[in-house]
Structure 1
Amino acid sequence: MDSRTKQAHVYMHLSILLWGITGVLGSSISLREGVLVWWRLLLVSISLGLQILLLKRSFKVTKTQFYKMTAVGVLLMVHWLFFYGAIKYSNVSITLSCFSTTSLFTALIEPIFSYKKLRVSEILFSLLGIVGIVFIFYDGSDYILGIALALMAAFVGSFFNIFNKEIVLELPPDIVSFYEMLTGFVGLTILLPIYLHFFPDSVLLPSTNDWALLAILAFVCTHVALTLSLAALKYLSAFTLNLAVNLEPIYGIALAFILLGENELLGINFYIGSCIVLLSVVAHAWYVSKYEALA
């Protein structure tokens, strides 16, 4: 392994660790999920926009590309609403355990859009993931809404991954991310009055502590993490990166245990269920790599 590859592995794990922190930050920020996501989208849009300007890159895209990115931006916005809603209504550990089913949802849904045959193995791995969710549900029956929202976040996230794959092949990743963040922000801004009608107790302006956490969430855990992952992708395969991303729930849950003391709130069924879910995800990734190598 040469020095560039080693550095790429370091970048990869740093980016995944930063993504894992987002759950803890979301739990620590006092804002409701809708307002939190609104600020995150705004700050990241500004950050990416400034980067593109400083690098003197062109913002020009075709109408078709813009419409595609708008659709994906709305999916991203909905995905984050479900994700942070799940954290607010349960906790970080339960949310990340359920959220790790994203790759299984993707394996089931992607054949519909790519016209590929659904493999029996993907159904079996998904069923194994469902068994894990049942264990988590049994231990987290007080968090039914949070579990449901986390699964919805995983479901919507799978569509985001599928549709985003095509766009990233056409444009630089930072341009794609900028337009997706911006259109997601505009979409949520339009919906915000409706959201505030149903949640009138929502505070719009962050506190001093929230500002600090939002800055870390937007600039470090989103912008920097994205930059590191893209730098790693230059020297690592997409599969290597995707397989490593499965470590995000583990990093996030470990941080929730250390920083939030969530291990004191969870029973044995949560640990069994989480292990089953993570096993299904890692086993599926391993099986895909072996299958593709033989194909």
Structure 2
Amino acid sequence: MPGDRQKNYLQLHFIVFIWGFTAVLGKLITLEALPLVWYRMLIAVLLVFGYAKIRHISLKYNTKTLISFILSGLVIALHWFTFFLAIKVSNVSVTLACLSCGAFFASLFESVFYGRKVIGYELVLGLIVALALGTILYGRQLIFGDDTPLFAEDPSGHKPNIVLGVIIALISCALSAFFAIINGRLAKLYNPVAITFYELAGGVFFISVYLFFNGSFSKSFFALRWSDIMWLFLLGSACTAYAQIAAVKVMKFISPYTMMLTINLEPVYGIAIALFVFKDSEAMGPSFYIGAFVILCTVIINGILKNNIRFKK
């Protein structure tokens, strides 16, 4: 029904807003990328397991189904690892800018896995979003000649490797789109809580195996700062356990491409939140609002075109 569809779109935007916090949290947490993802997924899987038990949700599935869940968990684990690695290697802005390519990857993957032709307006909208995010991040330098950095300089003196950061971030973006394709199919068949639990558990398993054989499980690995514990719990609970379950529910009614296009708002939210947290209010120039407005327009246009096509059918 139209009301239910609108409700799902609004919930998706709320989820994307929550995901906007993840880049900032990744910057605030002092851990390296892989331990960070391990703790994030471990906290989330414990919370989802507790929720499943309280709500009496069955977690029993056949072996073939469990394997599909666990393998998709490997994909999301690799996405999060490369996402946080890109932030550590470069910076928040570069990583978030590359997420704008998600619509391109989603359109490509949907044509491969769903066997449908690439729709022209999807590619056009994806390109517009990419250009809009470029305007947000670099418009001040290109248009106004302002060299003020988007974010405050790292106090540790870390010099970002932009090229490597872009490469890693694009890999992360492709993995995110691939995960959306996989979950788009799983969400229509299985309970979202069960899917989320096994995907997170699968990610923890694969990372744990690597860390074990790499000799990383040492005393120092488990010696966390209190600030890291606080940020990790927020990351694992609201930004992962809740957001993943809610996202899988929404994907029952929304296509992977539409989800990836909406996720393009994550950089806008993430940059705005980062500006607030890092107190770099001077970076909020005209180019930010121009780019954000264009992205919002593409999301609205995508929804209108999709609804018109559905109505005609």
* Alignment TM class, shorter chain as reference: 0.7 to 0.9
Q: Return the alpha-carbon distance in structure 2 between the equivalents of residues 71 and 84 of structure 1.
A: 20
Query: How many corresponding residue pairs?
Result: 290
Task: Report if aligned partners of 1:65, 1:167 keep a CA contact under 8 Å in 2.
Answer: no
Task: Report if aligned partners of 2:16, 2:266 keep a CA contact under 8 Å in 1.
Answer: yes
Where 1:100 maps in the other structure, the secondary structure is helix
Q: Return the alpha-carbon distance in structure 1 between the equivalents of residues 305 and 230 of structure 2.
A: 42
TM-score by length of 2: 0.76
Give unmatched runs, 5+ long, in structure 1: none
What one-letter code is carried by the residue in structure 2 that aligns with 1:208?
W
User: What is the root-mean-square deviation in Å for CA atoms of aligned residues?
Assistant: 3.9
What one-letter code is carried by the residue in structure 1 that aligns with 2:90?
S
Residue matched to 1:179: 198
Task: Report if aligned partners of 2:103, 2:126 keep a CA contact under 8 Å in 1.
Answer: no
Q: Return the alpha-carbon distance in structure 1 between the equivalents of residues 289 and 171 of structure 2.
A: 21
Q: Deviations over 1:81-111 (max 9, x none)?
A: 1111111122223222211321221012211
Q: Return the alpha-carbon distance in structure 2 between the equivalents of residues 184 and 83 of structure 1.
A: 15
Q: Return the alpha-carbon distance in structure 2 between the equivalents of residues 248 and 273 of structure 1.
A: 13
Find 1:205's aligned residue among 188, 206, 223: 223
More helix by share: 1
Task: Report if aligned partners of 1:108, 1:122 keep a CA contact under 8 Å in 2.
Answer: no
Residue matched to 1:164: 183
Farther-moved stretch of structure 1 (88-97 vs 166-175): 88-97
Task: Report if aligned partners of 1:83, 1:95 keep a CA contact under 8 Å in 2.
Answer: yes
* Structure 2 residue 161 is matched with structure 1 residue 145: no
Task: Report if aligned partners of 2:21, 2:239 keep a CA contact under 8 Å in 1.
Answer: yes
Q: Return the alpha-carbon distance in structure 2 between the equivalents of residues 266 and 203 of structure 1.
A: 38
Farther-moved stretch of structure 1 (266-275 vs 14-23): 266-275
TM-score by length of 1: 0.80
Task: Report if aligned partners of 1:101, 1:277 keep a CA contact under 8 Å in 2.
Answer: no
* Structure 2 residue 241 is matched with structure 1 residue 223: yes
Q: Deviations over 1:203-232 (max 9, x none)?
A: 55321110010011111222233455577x
Farther-moved stretch of structure 1 (102-111 vs 86-95): 86-95
Q: Return the alpha-carbon distance in structure 2 between the equivalents of residues 160 and 149 of structure 1.
A: 16
- Distance 1:191-1:160 versus aligned 2 partners, 3 A rule: same
What one-letter code is carried by the residue in structure 2 that aligns with 1:64?
K
Q: Return the alpha-carbon distance in structure 2 between the equivalents of residues 278 and 92 of structure 1.
A: 21
Find 2:210's aligned residue among 191, 198, 211: 191
Task: Report if aligned partners of 2:37, 2:80 keep a CA contact under 8 Å in 1.
Answer: yes
- Distance 1:204-1:274 versus aligned 2 partners, 3 A rule: farther
Counterparts of 1:52-63 in structure 2, within 5 Å, are 52-63=52-63
What one-letter code is carried by the residue in structure 2 that aligns with 1:25?
L
Task: Report if aligned partners of 1:108, 1:118 keep a CA contact under 8 Å in 2.
Answer: yes
Q: Percent identical across equivalent pairs?
A: 27
- Distance 1:263-1:156 versus aligned 2 partners, 3 A rule: farther
Q: Return the alpha-carbon distance in structure 2 between the equivalents of residues 288 and 45 of structure 1.
A: 35
What one-letter code is carried by the residue in structure 1 that aligns with 2:33?
E
Per-residue deviation at 1:113?
1.0
Residue matched to 2:67: 67
